[in-house]
Structure 1
Amino acid sequence: MSKIKLEYIWLDGYTPLAGLRSKTKIIDGDVASLTLADLPMWGFDGSSTKQAEGKSSDCLLKPVGLFRDCTRTNAFLVMSEVLLPDGSPHPSNARATVAEDPDTWFGFEQEYFFYQDGRPLGFPENGYPAPQGPYYTGVGYSSVGCVAREIVEKHIDICLAANINIEGVNAEVAKGQWEFQIFGKGSKSAADEMWVARYIMMRLCESYGIDVEWRCKPIRGAFDTPLDWNGSGMHANFSTKHLREVGGKAYFEKLMAAFSKHMDEHIAVYGPENHLRLTGLHETQSIDKFTYGLADRGASIRVPHSFVNSGYKGYLEDRRPNSAADPYLVAGRIIKTIHSVPTN
């Protein structure tokens, strides 16, 4: 038996952006054989996280994901849902609203900015760096600086050690902007791992005196001005068993009609301030329009060549979710729209 550190992670009740919270519980157990079923429920003070009133502040944490934490000795990260004292889902618990669907797969592309001293990492104290161009997938100090890649590499290793299915990483279009991608099979696994990967990145950056800026448009300005820099998205690639195995142009067109019909419901959960990002510029479609197109990064939904060439089978990419969106809400809304379309 060993002393095991369990870092319980949950989402607070702040709006429009839920924040990550965590605290450590020490238990006795066997590190090698520990499973999710071995983890106890725990509690916290919801009055300090905008999830309860002080006169009745108890909230519960239900473990839903277990990830090895290689940064600490005998330690695990525990993704948790927030419950009310009676055991029912808390109103802030978006995960509990996602329909169970093991055949729906998601891949999220998480963009973000590193921030230090109130500005993107690499921005001078006064003025601006060179215009966008050399930063995307860039290499060299002038493009990515001296610390960002070090953080990104450590983040990859910690995620892989935790069995998080991180599939790729790259420097993005704007100075100080990066991206990582998470893939998961099932309606909730990619979202679970995305939240834990976000947590790992934020905790890792603490020791560098750097913050992670998840907002979708932290650098704002009119087109073709020094402030006109790309925003950040969390593009949602999705696939169902029917899309992978049957597909067909007729079904695809019905699916796109449903996405168009439910456009407002999608935009409502695709992240705050999305009107600042979805302008029709910088490879986005305007927030009040729905379009789809073959390999079109300026469409609401990008249709890969592989999808069409395979007989309208495979995966599709919804480019509208932004970097601050809750992946649970994104997944839940996409699933609802898919389920509204008959497959016969």
Structure 2
Amino acid sequence: MAQCFDPSVQWQMRLTKSAMESSSMSSKMWNSFPLKPNKKGALKPATKFRICASADGTINRLEDLLNLDVSPYTDKIIAEYIWIGGSGTGVRSKSWTISKPVEHPSELPKWNYAGSSIGQAPGEDSEVILYPQAIFKDPFRRGNNILVICDAYTLQGEPILTNKRAKAAEIFNDPKVVSQVPWFGIEQEYTLFEVAFGLVGPLEGTL
């Protein structure tokens, strides 16, 4: 049965090198560890860690914890799967950790989520499958991490009702459309107002 010494307060202890190298210790040996005093001679409380020992006196991997590498860097890659939610206006996402960089969405696995919780599937058939369609560098996590743009399908491979991309892809992949050169335009409308005699009214003319 494990027990914690000084359970009422966590004390910062300075362990000697020989004690750190020892794999086990008796309860009597705890008296040999000096507590770090503050300037006034009182014991200094610490909240970083609590030293625990099992009934046989073995320290619970204290050396590993004190030497733990907490660096945020890793050779793994976070792929953030993103898809349009049930409202049709917001997006949802979840993270998948992969072990190496990818060049094409086909290299990434399909994933699933419970569509009934966000209004994209009935409760009795909630499973929705995410199909990766495009990948981009993650501007937030940076490094080799990526954003994965997905669309959603049923278990049978049919696009769910809110998957508008599937119909668009069908049209743009039609041989008659592929042979064409599509043009896209962005329309922006503006209204300018002027103040005259204390009243606000639109200017004449069109931009």
TM score, norm. by length of structure 1: 0.30
Q: Give 1 or 2 for the bigger CA radius of gyration.
A: 2
Question: Which structure has the higher relative contact order (CA within 8 Å, separation 6+)?
Answer: 1
TM score, norm. by length of structure 2: 0.48
